[in-house]
Structure 1
Amino acid sequence: MLTPGARFTWWQATPLVEQEYDVADAPMDGEMDSTFFLTKDKNIIPHTYPCRTAYIGDVRDREPEPAFAPDWSTARNVLPMGSAFLDLSGFWYRATRLGGWARTAVVSHTAGAARLGLSAAGAAKLFVNGTAAGWLAPARRNAADTVEIDVTLAEGVNELAIWFEDLAERDAVVRLELAWLDGPEAEAAIPFDAPRATVAAVASAIEAMHLDAKHYAGEDVWLDLPVPFPGPVTGTITVAGDFMAHDAQHFPLEIAAGAARAKLCNSAELRADYRYFHFDLSCNGFSTQATLGAEIVGAHAPAPATLAARIEEALDWIARNAEDDTQTALACLDRGTPEALDRADAIIAHELGGIERCHDCADFALVPLIWGRTLYGDRIRSALRDRIDAAMLSYRYWMDEPGNDVQWYFSENHALLFHTAAYLAGLHLPDATFARSGRTGLAQSAAGKDRLDGWFDHFEAAEMAEFNSAPYFPIDLKGLTALWALAPDADIKARAGAAIARLVEIVANSAHHGVITAAQGRSYEHTLCTTTTMELSGLARLLWGLGGHGAHVNALAEVALALRDHALALPALAARASWPDDGTAQEWRFTQGRVGDAPFARLYHHKTSETAMGSAARYRWGDWGYQETLIHARIGRDPRAQMWINHPGEVKQSGFGRPSFWGGSANVPRVQQYRDLALVLFAGVPPQLDFTHAWFPTPVFDDWSVDGQRAAARAGDG
């Protein structure tokens, strides 16, 4: 029976109808906001783009009208998987207006009045048995409001259908929640055209199924099924990287009725990276979806003994094995073989589309492209060179230039790349006119230099609010190495070199045998659950002969080229990054970021040859979190033997929430660490989830035990 507060969790959802939401080009006010995730309103990002302002004017507090009637034959079936809401979140590179239908059902034992609670961020309208019952239209970004709606139910099955819409800007949290508040005796029903027993059996199988490992190095990938499916399963598996990934692979799915496991593919066929396995499956006439994740580790011989050899290894590996990205194109241009140059041309032609349209994260692609155009222009087809130059002239380099994009200007890493791109593109095209600013290239470069000076002032005073960040340190190195290699101004080059050396020192201090092990200011599932395929591990292999390479690269080719061709010299930190001495330990305290005159993050790290742990002390105790991982540890020398504790921001695994299931914490814990001992105290509040959990990978430990809420493990001598 439904009780007050119960959520409806069985849903059908029609395909989203998407239309770019372009407003008139206009400048924005604002500057870099290094601590943009510090908000008074939970963890809701405060900055508002012109498209959101226009959308609010179009939608807020206006009764939504469906743009089309639902065709439920096209709908997908969404199982609860523990979640209280329907989650259609994702990532859109430009402002995009979304619309669609979703439905669930309720069985009322008698006819009568009921009250429901409807929550949405954009706009939503509830229909009961086809009749409009109520609506809300807050038009807020990634933050839902709730309205209570009085409805009349018929005896028996009642369809509860919702027309919804939203504006997606980059990462968009698109969720619908429908709660039972009051009414006659009733129970939730399934909206699917399938027997309830079949649906329940499929749901049980999916909830229990898992990959047979979280890390693969050439082995077959098997799906373990502790609860077998009720019949034969057919479908497809799409294997892809994170939301920024550039490629995907597809495999057929066949599972025999009652099977306890099924082979999916061989991991040697997959890119070395954290990969998501997206299942689209059908069993006994019922179709649904699921997602699981695992790290794919490529085959690596021991790292070459010399830095020169490791540089060539890195460039070769990237050119042949990395994802289709302009960083890969840069490595291909350097290799210069016909095959490599063909790949570079194909990558550049594809990536230019996002730059020309000012997609979010186009700055990530533009900086390596400027490097390639500047130093390897003779290896790029003339028509493609012209297109690159035209893209540089039409691009939006900062928010004070007119545009209608949703590029993220505010974080430290993006700001650095925008200013780097403006500075270098202006130098490359000194006499041309940059369309959005109206400046000549020399003036555009001068504006970029002024902003770079401000960025370096910030860095030299505060360093990184995105502290120890495995995903974002490579982005910072992307910009800094480009400046080191290409800047004609001695002061910019010197400041970039010092910043590179400092970030590399932080990585060395925070690494354990070449794999970063530390509290992180921003993190994701796909960066926490990886080991030797994260890019900072590739950096450790390049610099110190530790770690391995992964397919997702943002800076590694640039670092290699800066070392080989541009006299970048870095301190010898191999022993510190590995810490091989059994009889000693490193205890390290440092601060990152600033809020006013106070340090933002006070960081503590302790490691021996067999243990490492890092944490953030006195950091925002009890606040709503964003993407921070506040405690992280490893034991032994197997990089997979890692642990962390977090307070999930959502129940859905592999979701788009910030915080997510593994990345970040809904409630920021109090952490106190002394050497290899730490105390972690969470104090969550509704509507945050009522549990915390630990990443505790038992298959990689030599010994382990779990007794209630107590766990212990040994790996190697740790």
Structure 2
Amino acid sequence: MAGKKLSSIFKKIILAVIILFTIITFIDFIRIINYSVYQRNPPVEIITEEDKIYFDLVHNKEIDWSRLNPTLEFISHEYDVADFKFVNLLRILYEFPGKIPVEVRDNIDKTLLAFRYWWDEPGENSMCYWSENHQILFASAEYLAGQLYVDKTFSKSGLNGKQHVIKAKRRILDWLEMRWKYGFTEYYSATYYIEDIAALTNLIDFAKDDELTVKCKIILDLLLYDVASQQVNGMFASVSGRAYEHNRKGEAADLGGVTKFLLRNEKIASHGLLNGFMLFRQYDMPHVLRDIANDTGTVIVEQINGLNISELKKEGYYGTGDKSMMMQWGMEAFTNHEVIRNSLKHIRGAAMFSNDFLKAFRYLDFTIIRWLHLEPLLVKIIHPATNGKAIQRAHTYTYRTKDYSLYSVQDHDQQQYADQHHIAGMNMGNHFSVFHTHPARNPGDNNHSPNYWVGYGRLPHVQQFKNVSMAIYAIPPKKNLTEAVLPGYTHAYFPVKKFDSVYIFNNYAFGKKGSVYIALIGKNNFSFRPGTNDDLIQRGRKTFWIMEAGSAVEDTSFQRFIGRIQKNGISFSEENLELVYTSGNKKQRLKFGETRAHATQARFASPYVQMANDQQKIISFQGKSLLLDFYNPKRICSLPQE
């Protein structure tokens, strides 16, 4: 009898819990579907001219100040990339305050004092605060605005300018230290390095803080070392944490004129974010960086950039504080099971379910899921394609000669998906690049990232030794629930019309541009996608691509290069996913998923960096050197700077 009574009570408790959970879930559902989302972009395009106005002021031109109104409108609505608009607007305020009419200055002041400078301030919008370049752009804007309005109150935060300076300085120092210790998450990005340069230049020119300005110079030195060591004859195209189609193809790859400046001290007149950099107020370019850019020797440049998600806890970036979230979201780690609860907690605390970039997270904002800690389990089950946004630790390898560069990210297969990664390619001199990829979308579907030419549907496993790069693709037979498509082929950008000579036969494709040669070898025969002469298709889900570089110096004639490559030995096991390639007397083996023991685990391994540790880095070449000490901080050049 007692047992039946207990059983009856237990059933009633279970029923009550089910009813309670149902009610809570229903209330959550009503709340979630009623979330509003802020517009990311203006409903009608706003053409802003703050960059051109600053340029005109520098060149003593007469200014129609009404041209600044669209910029202030854009900022006041807090549309995405409003932080970009601050770069030259702040330069106008700092360099030409006496030229701004009183009524225009009043409007500027009101706009800047009402802005939401960081995700911890009250308010909501759809600005992207979190990627690496946006972090330093927002922090730079907040610091310099706070310094400008030191005694005034900012309406969103309720803080005065001095408090904003203190708050922003902490974030800037954290960001700089991450770059010092781990490099750039958006490594070698011809798009996002421009934004980093712009933010750092503003701080160097205008921040009234010696520690801050010296540390900004140090990180700008390291960024320009990246550019100098990766560019070939003025073209900055390499592997990258974030690359778009034109970046991968080597188009507009002079980094807004930065490579021309590095090579020839040629300052490019600009209307863009690099106005300040080209003017060079306070930054002193070390001679050694120019010498590295102009080096015509054959070098191997290895570098480690970023962290793996598995390393976050050990390195102290696993919590939900500002510093930890800057690292996690800076590496685009949002939905990975290790950090999904952090993401949701942060979104709730910063009122960002209304942010257009993050609106999908609302569907995990159920109380029961949070109470039972089900988020990691759910994302493991769903395995969303967004896991591939995470930009993890990259061991980059570049083989650079005076004629070309061949580059890869070694053993970079931590994720099946990849959003905007670029992990293997070759520069044909300074003309264009060649690369292979697995498309994540059908041709012409360019409104998403990844797509046909951006990122990868599924990552290959890549290894490189000098002028030979090998990659294995293993595409599963069925797509994941969150994938748009999962094509059963890979393809390469191989623009026939840009080559001087091309020879394609079965599974071989050869190209010549000037004195540079390239060979592409696949498991299966190549064919161009119908209607194209630059999109080389290789059918098959388990395939390989071998890329070998050559030149007139190494192989004399193009015909001799072709003959040599066709004699090379190749064996591939589709079952074991193992590739062996013998070129000359060099035999290389690649097995999918098997990591090679790398020669170094140091952050830098190249002829140009003789000492690299947590405390100091010495960049040296041809008798010139640059000592960088982040924690003291100081920069010492062996020769006078330019």
Whether TM exceeds 0.5 here: the answer is yes
Q: Secondary structure at the match of 1:505?
A: helix
**Equivalent in the alignment of 2:284:** 568
How far apart are 1:681 and its partner, in Å? Answer: 1.6
**Equivalent in the alignment of 2:497:** 699
Q: Which of 591, 596, 616 lines up with 2:304 in the alignment?
A: 591
Take 2:454 and 2:265, find their aligned partners in 1: how far apart are those partners? Answer: 25
**Equivalent in the alignment of 2:406:** 613
Alignment of 1:341-360 (within 5 A): 341-342=63-64, 345=65, 347-360=67-80
- Confirm or deny that 1:95 pairs with 2:71: no
Take 1:714 and 1:479, find their aligned partners in 2: how far apart are those partners? Answer: 40
The one-letter amino acid of 2:277's match is V
Alignment of 1:105-504 (within 5 A): 325-338=49-62, 341-342=63-64, 345=65, 347-504=67-224
- 1:421–1:624 CA distance, 2 compared to 1 (3 A): same
**Equivalent in the alignment of 1:675:** 466
How far apart are 1:622 and its partner, in Å? Answer: 5.1
How far apart are 1:457 and its partner, in Å? Answer: 2.0
- 1:709–1:378 CA distance, 2 compared to 1 (3 A): farther
**Equivalent in the alignment of 2:255:** 536
Contact 1:622 1:684 in 2 (8 A): no
Contact 1:642 1:697 in 2 (8 A): no
Identity %: 24
Flag the structure with higher helix content.
2
Take 1:499 and 1:695, find their aligned partners in 2: how far apart are those partners? Answer: 34
Take 1:245 and 1:526, find their aligned partners in 2: how far apart are those partners? Answer: 23
Contact 2:237 2:248 in 1 (8 A): no
How far apart are 1:514 and its partner, in Å? Answer: 1.1
Q: Secondary structure at the match of 2:287?
A: coil
1:147-183 CA distances to partner (integer Å, 9 max, x unpaired)?
xxxxxxxxxxxxxxxxxxxxxx579xxxxxxxxxxxx
The one-letter amino acid of 2:54's match is L
Q: Secondary structure at the match of 1:693?
A: strand
Alignment of 1:619-658 (within 5 A): 619-621=412-414, 623-636=416-429, 639-653=430-444, 655-658=446-449
Take 1:493 and 1:559, find their aligned partners in 2: how far apart are those partners? Answer: 14
Take 2:405 and 2:305, find their aligned partners in 1: how far apart are those partners? Answer: 20
Q: Secondary structure at the match of 1:512?
A: coil
Q: Secondary structure at the match of 1:367?
A: helix
Take 2:405 and 2:179, find their aligned partners in 1: how far apart are those partners? Answer: 27
Contact 1:646 1:664 in 2 (8 A): yes
Unaligned runs of 5+ in 1: 1-51, 61-93, 97-168, 172-242, 248-323
The one-letter amino acid of 1:695's match is Y
Unaligned runs of 5+ in 2: 1-27, 316-391, 480-484, 517-642
- 1:706–1:622 CA distance, 2 compared to 1 (3 A): farther
Take 1:616 and 1:548, find their aligned partners in 2: how far apart are those partners? Answer: 32
TM-score by length of 1: 0.52
Contact 2:55 2:270 in 1 (8 A): no
Flag the structure with higher strand content.
1
Take 2:45 and 2:217, find their aligned partners in 1: how far apart are those partners? Answer: 29
Take 1:54 and 1:431, find their aligned partners in 2: how far apart are those partners? Answer: 44
Runs of 4+ in 1 over 4 A off after TM superposition: 52-55, 243-247, 546-552
How far apart are 1:372 and its partner, in Å? Answer: 1.4
- Confirm or deny that 1:689 pairs with 2:490: no
How far apart are 1:537 and its partner, in Å? Answer: 5.1
Q: How many corresponding residue pairs?
A: 402
- 1:407–1:372 CA distance, 2 compared to 1 (3 A): same
How far apart are 1:672 and its partner, in Å? Answer: 0.6
Contact 1:670 1:680 in 2 (8 A): yes
- 1:56–1:635 CA distance, 2 compared to 1 (3 A): same
1:354-401 CA distances to partner (integer Å, 9 max, x unpaired)?
111111110111132112111112233332222221111011011110
How big is the alpha-carbon RMSD for the aligned residues of Structure 1 and Structure 2? 2.9
Take 1:244 and 1:511, find their aligned partners in 2: how far apart are those partners? Answer: 38
The one-letter amino acid of 1:334's match is V
**Equivalent in the alignment of 2:229:** 509
TM-score by length of 2: 0.58
The one-letter amino acid of 2:120's match is D
How far apart are 1:635 and its partner, in Å? Answer: 2.1
Take 1:552 and 1:696, find their aligned partners in 2: how far apart are those partners? Answer: 33
**Equivalent in the alignment of 2:33:** 57
- 1:681–1:347 CA distance, 2 compared to 1 (3 A): farther
The one-letter amino acid of 2:292's match is R
Contact 1:602 1:617 in 2 (8 A): yes
Take 1:500 and 1:54, find their aligned partners in 2: how far apart are those partners? Answer: 49
Take 2:254 and 2:115, find their aligned partners in 1: how far apart are those partners? Answer: 28
